[in-house]
Amino acid sequence: MKHNILFLLTAGMSLLGVTQHVMAVQNGFYLGVDAGVTNLMDKESHSVFPESHQLGDIGASGGGFLGYDFCLSNKTRMAVEIFVDAVGSQTSIKHAGNTYKMNQQYNAGIRLLPAYLFTSSTMGHVILGYANSRFQIKDNGVYGLINTNYNQGGFQTGLGLATEVQNNFFVRVDALYTMYSSSTHQGAGLVDAPAVQSYTNRFSTLAGEVGLYYEFC
Amino acid sequence: MNLFLRKSLVCMVALFSGSAFAASFNNPFACPHFYVGGTLGIATLTDKESTYNPIRDAHSLGASDAIGGVLAGIAFDTNMPVKFGLEAFINATDLEARDNQNYAPITSFKAKMRYNTGLRILPAYEFTPGTEAHIILGYSYGNFNVSDNGNYGIIHQTFSSNGFQAGLGIEAILIKHFLIRTDAIYTTYSSHTANGITTSIPSSTQSYHNRPSTLEGDLTLIYKI
Is residue A37 included in any domain, yes or no? yes
Is residue A141 included in any domain, yes or no? yes
What lies within 8 Å, CB to CB, of B104 at 6+ separation is none
Give residue B208's pLDDT: 96
Q: By residue range, what is the domain housing residue B178?
A: 3-224
Q: Given A91, A160, A175, which is nearest B60 (Cβ)?
A: A91
Give residue A5's pLDDT: 42
CATH number at residue B80: 2.40.160.20
Q: How much is the ipTM here?
A: 0.81
CATH number at residue A103: 2.40.160.20
Q: By residue range, what is the domain housing residue A74?
A: 26-216
Lowest mean pLDDT among A4-18, A59-73, B188-202: A4-18
Contact state of A16 with B127 under an 8 Å Cβ cutoff: yes
Is residue A10 included in any domain, yes or no? no
What proportion of chain B, given as a percentage, has pLDDT over 90?
73
Is residue A53 included in any domain, yes or no? yes
Contact state of B100 with A122 under an 8 Å Cβ cutoff: no
* Single-letter amino acid code for the residue at B143: N
Q: Which residues of A touch B62 (CB under 8 A)?
A: 39-42, 54-57, 91
Is residue A30 included in any domain, yes or no? yes
- Would you list the DSSP string of B64-133? EEEEEEEEEEEEEE-SSSEEEEEEEEEEEEEEEEEEEE-SSSPEEEEEEEEEEEEEEEEEEEEEETTEEE
Number of domains forming the structure of chain A: 1
* Digit-coded pLDDT (tens) for A23-62: 545 789 999 999 999 999 999 999 999 999 999 999 999 9
Residue B77: pLDDT band with limits 50, 70, 90:
confident
Contact of A191 with chain B, judged by CB distance below 8 Å, is answered with no
Mean pLDDT, residues B10-30 taken together:
49
Is residue A133 included in any domain, yes or no? yes
Number of domains forming the structure of chain B: 1
Q: Which residues of A touch B63 (CB under 8 A)?
A: 41, 54, 56
User: Global pTM?
Assistant: 0.84
* Digit-coded pLDDT (tens) for A148-158: 999 999 999 99
The alpha carbon torsion through B114, A101, A95, A58 (nearest 10 deg) reads: -30
Asked whether residue B60 carries a pLDDT value surpassing 60, the answer given is yes
Interface size between A and B, measured as CB pairs under 8 A: 193
Asked whether residue A8 carries a pLDDT value surpassing 70, the answer given is no
